[in-house]
Structure formats: structure tokens, C-alpha cells
Amino acid sequence: MKLLLDFLPILLFFGTFKYAGAHAQQSADFATEHFGFLVSGGVVGAAEAPVLLATIVVIIATLAQVAWIVARGRKVDTMLWVSLALVVVLGGATIWFHSETFIKWKPSVLYWVMGTSLWLSHVLLRKNLLRLLLGEQLQLPDAVWQRLNGMWVAFFGVMGLLNIWVAYTFSTDAWVNFKLFGGIGLMLLFTLAQGLYLSRYLPDESAAASKDKARPGAQ
């Protein structure tokens, strides 16, 4: 459920963009009529309507996501607050200036904020944020936690650069496809690779159970 909630804004952005792109003129007329007051000049063209409508949807979806978490009495993750701020500011700029450039930078800025947070926490505060988040579930040597932190810092840095490269090298349609399939796919692959790497450092439960049975007085 949480995974679906996390990815919901991206899925809605993708779906809205694709639908509006297939009905460009109708989407432009709809955007002009209902959201013209948000746009400089008050008129939305057919070429820009898909990304503008998708941006409006992702802003609303992210706001709803935060409101849902708050309404349930749960703590909103810091990164979700950062994501909300970025999507409102950069998304708002995209809508007002009729420019998709601003919203295209949002994933990169978010990646870099996450990577910088992990790096600065380690360098300045001598704290490993990953260990603080996962330390109760994973028992790992200190050196492994440090390497894990460094890997995620590097991954977020590369993902930010990759997003910008796709945004400026390919069409907006290709960037939207990458945002959903490429971004999420690479994240899942990297997480899987991390799991395989960490598996060698995790305690062998079967071996631990055998030791317990071998102890004097074990039943």
C-alpha cells in the first residue's frame, strides 16, 4: 500500500500526460478554460497542454498524499516534504511560464537533495542516516554501513545527471517514459543489487539455530 502511495503521483503524471497528448487540442481547450488563470497570458497551446495538465495533476496528487498521511496521524517523511516543495515551486513555474524545463529538473534536484543529505550527515554530523533508518532491521559492520551510504550517495548523484541528460537529449515524451519506467526500474535494480551485496554480511539463521541447539541444556 505504501509503495503504491509513493509511486502514485508519478503514475498519475504519466497517465495524464499520455492521455492529454493523445487529445492535444481538447486538452488545450480544457486547460485554457479551467486553468487559464494559472498561466501567463491565460491561453494554453496544444503542444504544451499535456505537460501542463500532468504537472497540475502531480501537484494535486502530492498535496493529497501529504494530507492523507497527516489525516491518519502519521509522520510525513522529510523527503516527502522536500518533494512537495519542489513540485509546487518548479511545477508552478512550469505552469506559469509555459515551460516544461522547470518540472524536468524536479527529479534531479530531489535526487541531489537526498544524496547530499546522506553525505553531509556523514561528513558533518558523523551520522549514517541509512543506519538510523535500517539499523533495527539490519545488523552490519560499521565499514559496510559506510560503503552502503557511499553507494547511495553515488547512485542519487548519477540518477540526477541521467535525468537531466534524458530531459535535454530526447523528447518530452521520451523523458516521461524514462521518469516512470527508467527511474523506477533503475531504483529497483539498484536496491536488488544492494540486497545481493548485503546478503554476505547478514547472519546465517540456520547456522545460528544449529548453535543454539548445540548448547548444553538446549531443548
Give me 120's grid cell.
553531509
DSSP single-letter state for residue 77: P
The pLDDT tens digits for 71-128 are: 999 999 888 999 999 999 999 999 999 999 999 999 999 999 999 999 999 888 888 8
**Nearest in space to 152 (alpha carbons), one of 119, 122, 185:** 119
**What are the sequence ranges of the domains in the chain?**
1-99, 100-203
CB 22 within 8 Å of CB 43:
no
Checking if the pLDDT of 205 tops 70, the result is no
pTM, two decimal places: 0.85
CB 39 within 8 Å of CB 52:
yes
CA–CA separation, 137 vs 147, rounded Å? 18
Mean pLDDT of the chain: 88
